[in-house]
Structures are given as structure tokens and as C-alpha cells.
Amino acid sequence: MKNKSLVSITDFTKEEILEIIELAADFEANPNQRLLDGKVVASLFFEPSTRTRLSFETAINRLGGRVIGFTDASSSSTTKGETLKDTTKMVSNYADLIVMRHPLEGSARYASEQSRVPIINAGDGANQHPTQTLLDLYSIKKTQGTLDNLNIFMVGDLKYGRTVHSLLMAMSHFNPVFYFISPDELKMPQEYKWFLREKGIEYFEHREFSEIIEQADILYMTRVQKERFADPIEYEKVKNAYVLRNHMLSNTRDNLKILHPLPRVNEIHTDVDTNPKAYYFEQAENGVYARMAIMASILGVK
């Protein structure tokens, strides 16, 4: 993986994904390793993102690297009209690695073509967010002991949610069964269902939670956003159907874990937070170890 950019989850093979997950476990066991001593990592956030940026910067600091960069486009030359190409070319002369978040889709792939150093995509619009996927996989592996043959439930906005799309692609290496639970307006797009059918992976679509959640090993919750609905009445009709409450978990499997990419609004009621099956805050913590693993392997220090 040395010197390889990570733009899309499909850039990494199954073996590379497994290698990152193993490495993340090593870093969790021993989080302060000065492997990036003397390295400079550029953190270019063309739009703000608290969790992703802080977890990357924590990961860099724990590895003993130095961070340069900006936290939103208004403090970069973008406001003066500089193109992404020029910003990338310039920064790639300063840093050993670039971590980039940008509101436009495809920006990370384009930057990786312009840059002399590897690019890690920290989110390009609604397109890809591969480090989120790797931390999701790490969380699944850590809590289930395996990635193979699991029942993965995806709930909420399956149409626009990039995290569920990337997770679906990555999990497809491990023979899962998918359950998609969403309103009609926000169903899993056809292209992903074609992809699953081609790979011979089973999936089921449901409009609501029901006793089927008793089958779940992983419940991956996402936010149903009001602005996704053309008709606000439709939103009002469905909004409560995708809220997870503690009493709904009573007959679920012991190994079930509830994941959420965060930020959560109201799709997981706060009464779930104290349930041992709630895992979303630990999941966010796992992001630091997953990102340490990704950066260490791309920079070839591990």
C-alpha cells in the first residue's frame, strides 16, 4: 500500500482491507508510536468536519507527525480563486501525505492525479469516504470477532448515504446478508442491488423495522433528512418509523451492535445510549486507530 492513494474503498483489495484492520488493532493496543517522526501531513479541509478532522489530527499526533493545513475553504487561497489543481500541486511539494475533505465529488481522485504524494480522501461530497468505511469494518470485526457471514441491517437514508454505499461494497468481500430498511423515497439505488446480484449476495428490502431485527448482527443506522423529501408530508409520515428505541432491542441477538456514522439527530433515541449494544461512540474512537493504520501503511512505516 506504500505511496498508494486511498480515494475510493474499491482502491483497496480484500487483503489490503484486512491488513489495515489488523494494524488498527495493533495501534489500539499501543496507541503512541512515533512512526511519523519527521513527517509532515497536510490536512486540507475545504469544508468543515469536526469528527473526521479531529480524528485524523489525533492519529497524526499520536504517531508523532506534524500537521499543516486549514479547517475550511475560507482560510485557504480558494477564496482568491485558486484551483484545486494548483492548491494540490503546491501542498504536495510541502507535505509527505495529504488528507483532503472537499464538497465536490471526484475532487479527491483529481487531486491524486495532480499530487506528487499520496492522497487520503476524507470525504468528497456525496461520493466516497473510505476511511469511515475502514473504521466501520474495524468496528464490526472487533465486536463480532469476524467479518464473514454476518447479517447486516442498514436503516434510514440508503439512497444518498455514502457511508452505507461504501460499507456495502467493502462488506461484499465477506459473504454477508443485507437487510435494507428505508422509506420508498430513500431506497438503496438500483446500481448497488445489481452489484450484489452479480456477486451472488443475498439482500432483502423492508419498509419498516419489525421482528426481523432479531436476526441482526449489525444495525447500521443513518439519518433520514427532511430536505431529501420532495413532499414534506411524506417526511412527516415516515420520520418516526426509522427511530430506534431501547424497547425495540429486547429480543435481539446478544452479539448485536448498533453503529452510526454520526452526527446523530433523533434516529437513535437517547434511551439506547446506555444499552451495551449501542456502539456508536466507541465506533468514533475506532476511527483514530483505523486512520493511524491507514496513514502508517501508506507512508510505508508499518
Partner 1 sequence: MSKNKELKVNAIKNGTVIDHIPADHLFMVISILNLDVIPNQITFGANLESHRMGQKAIIKVTDKFFEDDEINKISLVAPQAKLNIIRDYEVVEKRVVVIPDKIIGIVKCFNPKCITNHEPIITKFALHDKDNVALKCQYCEKITTQEHITII
Grid cell listed for 56 = 485524523
Question: Applying CB under 8 A, does 115 fall inside the site for partner 1?
Answer: no
Q: How far is the CB of 285 from partner 1 (least distance, A)?
A: 29
Looking at 109, 159, 187, 206, which residue binds partner 1 (CB under 8 A)? 109
The helix (run of H) or strand (run of E) holding residue 4 is none
68 binds partner 1 (CB under 8 A): no
In 10 A of CB 22, how many CB atoms?
A: 12
Q: Would you state the torsion angle of the CA atoms of residues 139, 276, 152, 180, taken in this order, to the nearest 10 degrees?
A: -120
The answer to whether 77 contacts partner 1 (rule: CB under 8 A) is: no
Asked about 52 being catalytic, the answer comes back as yes
Cβ atoms 151, 220 nearer than 8 A: no
CB-CB contact of 106 with 254 (8 Å)? no
Compute the distance between CA of residue 262 and CA of residue 49 in angstroms, rounded to an integer.
11
Q: Catalytic site residue 247? A: no
**Per-position x/- string for 169-198, each x denoting binding to partner 1 as judged by CB under 8 A, each - no binding:** ----------------------x-------
Q: How far apart are CA 155 and CA 124, in angstroms?
A: 22
Q: Which listed residue (47, 48, 93, 126) binds partner 1 by CB under 8 A?
A: 126
Q: Which amino acid is at 162?
A: R
Query: Catalytic: 51?
Result: yes
Q: Please say which residue, 105 or 214, places its beta carbon nearer to partner 1.
A: 105
Q: How far is the CB of 85 from partner 1 (least distance, A)?
A: 6
- Residue 5 interacts with partner 1 (CB under 8 A)? no
Is 264 assigned a catalytic role? no
- Considering only 21-29, 121-129, 259-267, 280-288, which stretch makes contact with partner 1 by CB under 8 A? 121-129
Omega cis (within 30) before 183: no
The CB-of-61 to partner 1 minimum distance in angstroms stands at 30
Residue 191: CB minimum distance to partner 1, A: 7
Question: CB of 112 within 8 A of CB of 124?
Answer: no
Q: Given the rule CB under 8 A, which of 11-19, 37-45, 78-86, 227-235 is the region that contacts partner 1?
A: 78-86
Active-site pick, 53, 102, 129, 162: 129
Q: Quick one: which of 133, 213, 215, 208 has its CA closest to 174?
A: 133
116-141 burial by CB neighbour count: b if 16+ within 10 A, else e? Answer: ebbbbbbbbbebbbbbbbbbbbbbbb
Binding site residues, partner 1, CB under 8 A: 8, 83-85, 102-107, 109-110, 124-128, 191
- Residues recognised as catalytic: 51-52, 80, 101, 129
